[in-house]
Amino acid sequence: MSTFQAPKGTYDLIPPASATYLAVREALAAPLRRAGYGYVETPGFEHTELFARGVGESTDIVTKEMFTLTTKGGTELALRPEGTASVLRSALENSLHKLGNLPVKLWYSGSYYRYERPQKGRYRHFSQVGAEAIGAEDPALDAELIILAVDAYKSLGLRNFRLLLNSLGDKECRPAYRAALQDFLRALDLDDETRRRIEINPLRVLDDKRAEVQKQLTGAPLMRDHLCEACKAYHEQVRELLTAAGVAFEDDDKLVRGLDYYTRTTFEFVHDGLGSQSAVGGGGRYDGLSEMIGGPALPSVGWALGVDRTVLALEAEGVELELPAATQVYAVPLGEEARRTLFSLVTELRREGVAADFAFGGKGLKNAMKSANRSGARFALVAGERDLAGGVVQLKDLESGEQSPVALDAVVAELGRRLG
């Protein structure tokens, strides 16, 4: 072991498990690519103020969980704890919303950082695939994003996930609800920090996981009973579109999520095999966020799906992804001439699209065959001086153990045929 270890709350992705991780990332993004979302990549850090304003001064993410730093020039930066604020910042800065084609649909994938108490499924460095549809208020857009997430999970073979759905109202109806909720909460027996939360963001008290708090929340006023006509109709349309698409959901009146920017549609995907860190993804509508960070009114909706937890959910369900073989053909040269010949063959195979590897480091036959088997290759190409003198290499099927000579100039075609 080296002197150093990965920092607390982080882990390395190493082969072969990393291949699953990569495949999950690709599967989560695939439905978005088919639905007109363009790829966006923003920096790993932003001005701290963007998250303070965008994610919300009262959220755990901003108050407790950001990795912040001051540059030598005195600029306050934070490693990104989430994607939405950055992507919206980028869309505004690059005037994507002025190109006349709203909504601007973007997807992204990358690392996010939160200073959290690490446990299984909760890390300080984790990975998300996200999507944002910026600049349109249309229940079909909310439904589209939810359906794309469901399709992504299903394409991986996940079954035991549930979709929780709620509406948080808008600037018309939320203030009155907020006041009613505050009145209710102020009368409860709560600690000082929660009391402060009542004044800053009372909705988040509903999300408190502690049993002693939840017990007191029975009878709390619910947003559902305070939605204005427009929000009610909007939410009903989202629900109808989901139902028509065969997407099952559970209405969850207390789903508020940990970020301040959400309005109307809010949703979360939970997986029942994950214990306490059960949220595999979530999102919602954020109609006021653009104005909060200095942009024009741009009603928008988006989600982020956690890659790490999706991998854990697959493990919990015992789903093994069918991944393309890392190596299909492994070449084992015996002697100098064979090294040159097989090395050229391997290059040629790779150029033909075959995943091929080579016994590097001058290994003897026994060791090289061990490596061939460990590589997972289906075929080995073995050649010594006598084979080359006869113009052939030995093609060995590592599954059946059968071996036969193949003419040098026919090897690539023969392997192509056998590998289909």
From the CB of 82, what's the least distance to ligand AMP, in Å?
A: 5
In the list 114, 239, 285, 396, the residue contacting ligand AMP (rule: CB under 6 A) is 114
From the CB of 309, what's the least distance to ligand AMP, in Å?
A: 4
Q: Does 116 bind ligand AMP (CB under 6 A)?
A: yes
Could you please report the per-residue DSSP string of 80-118?
A: -S-SHHHHHHHHHHTTGGGSS-SSEEEEEEEEEE-----
Residue 73 DSSP label = T
**Nearest residue (CB) to ligand AMP, 139 versus 282:** 282
In the list 213, 304, 331, 342, the residue contacting ligand AMP (rule: CB under 6 A) is 304
Residue 286, annotated as binding a ligand: no
Non-local (6+) Cβ contacts of 77 within 8 A are: 45, 46, 47, 48, 68, 69, 70, 71
Residue 261, annotated as binding a ligand: yes
Name the residue number minimizing CB distance to ligand AMP. Answer: 306
User: Looking only at residues 78 through 107 of this chain, which bind ligand AMP when binding is defined by CB under 6 A?
Assistant: 82
* Spatial separation of the C-alpha atoms in residues 270 and 282, rounded to whole Å: 9
From the CB of 308, what's the least distance to ligand AMP, in Å?
A: 5
Residue 339, annotated as binding a ligand: no
Non-local (6+) Cβ contacts of 79 within 8 A are: 44, 45, 66, 67, 68, 113
- Tokens 């439905």 correspond to what residue? 31
User: Looking only at residues 249 through 288 of this chain, which bind ligand AMP when binding is defined by CB under 6 A?
Assistant: 258, 279-282
From the CB of 294, what's the least distance to ligand AMP, in Å?
A: 22
Closest alpha carbon to 138 in 59, 234, 220: 234
From the CB of 183, what's the least distance to ligand AMP, in Å?
A: 29
Q: Does 162 bind ligand AMP (CB under 6 A)?
A: no
The partner residues of 38 in beta bridges, in order of sequence, read 106
Residue 257, annotated as binding a ligand: yes
Q: Are 363 and 374 in contact (CB under 8 A)?
A: no
> What is the CA angle 148-152-154, rounded to 5?
115
**Nearest residue (CB) to ligand AMP, 113 versus 379:** 113
Q: Does 122 bind ligand AMP (CB under 6 A)?
A: yes
Non-local (6+) Cβ contacts of 239 within 8 A are: 165, 249
Q: Where does this chain touch ligand AMP (CB under 6 A) — which range of 202-210, 301-309, 321-329, 370-378?
A: 301-309
* Spatial separation of the C-alpha atoms in residues 337 and 340, rounded to whole Å: 5
* Spatial separation of the C-alpha atoms in residues 317 and 312, rounded to whole Å: 9
> What is the CA angle 142-268-62, rounded to 5?
100
From the CB of 126, what's the least distance to ligand AMP, in Å?
A: 3
Helix (H) or strand (E) holding 380: strand 379-383
From the CB of 197, what's the least distance to ligand AMP, in Å?
A: 17
User: Looking only at residues 355 through 414 of this chain, which bind ligand AMP when binding is defined by CB under 6 A?
Assistant: none
From the CB of 34, what's the least distance to ligand AMP, in Å?
A: 22
**Nearest residue (CB) to ligand AMP, 130 versus 221:** 130
Q: Are 396 and 387 in contact (CB under 8 A)?
A: no
**Nearest residue (CB) to ligand AMP, 168 versus 280:** 280
From the CB of 203, what's the least distance to ligand AMP, in Å?
A: 15
Closest alpha carbon to 325 in 370, 277, 377, 290: 377
Residue 82, annotated as binding a ligand: yes
User: Looking only at residues 126 through 155 of this chain, which bind ligand AMP when binding is defined by CB under 6 A?
Assistant: 126, 128
Residue 121, annotated as binding a ligand: no
Phi, psi of 394 (to 5 degrees): -85, 130
Where are the alpha helices (H) located in 39-191, listed in sequence order? 48-54, 60-63, 84-93, 139-155, 174-186
Residue 262, annotated as binding a ligand: yes
In the list 31, 54, 299, 306, the residue contacting ligand AMP (rule: CB under 6 A) is 306
In the list 308, 368, 387, 393, the residue contacting ligand AMP (rule: CB under 6 A) is 308
Binding-site size, ligand AMP (CB under 6 A) = 17
Instruction: Enumerate the known binding-site residues.
Output: 82-84, 114, 128, 132, 257, 261-262
Query: Which parts of this chain interact with ligand AMP (CB under 6 A)?
Result: 82, 114, 116, 121-123, 126, 128, 258, 279-282, 304, 306, 308-309
Instruction: Enumerate the known binding-site residues for L-histidine.
Output: 82-84, 114, 128, 132, 257, 261-262
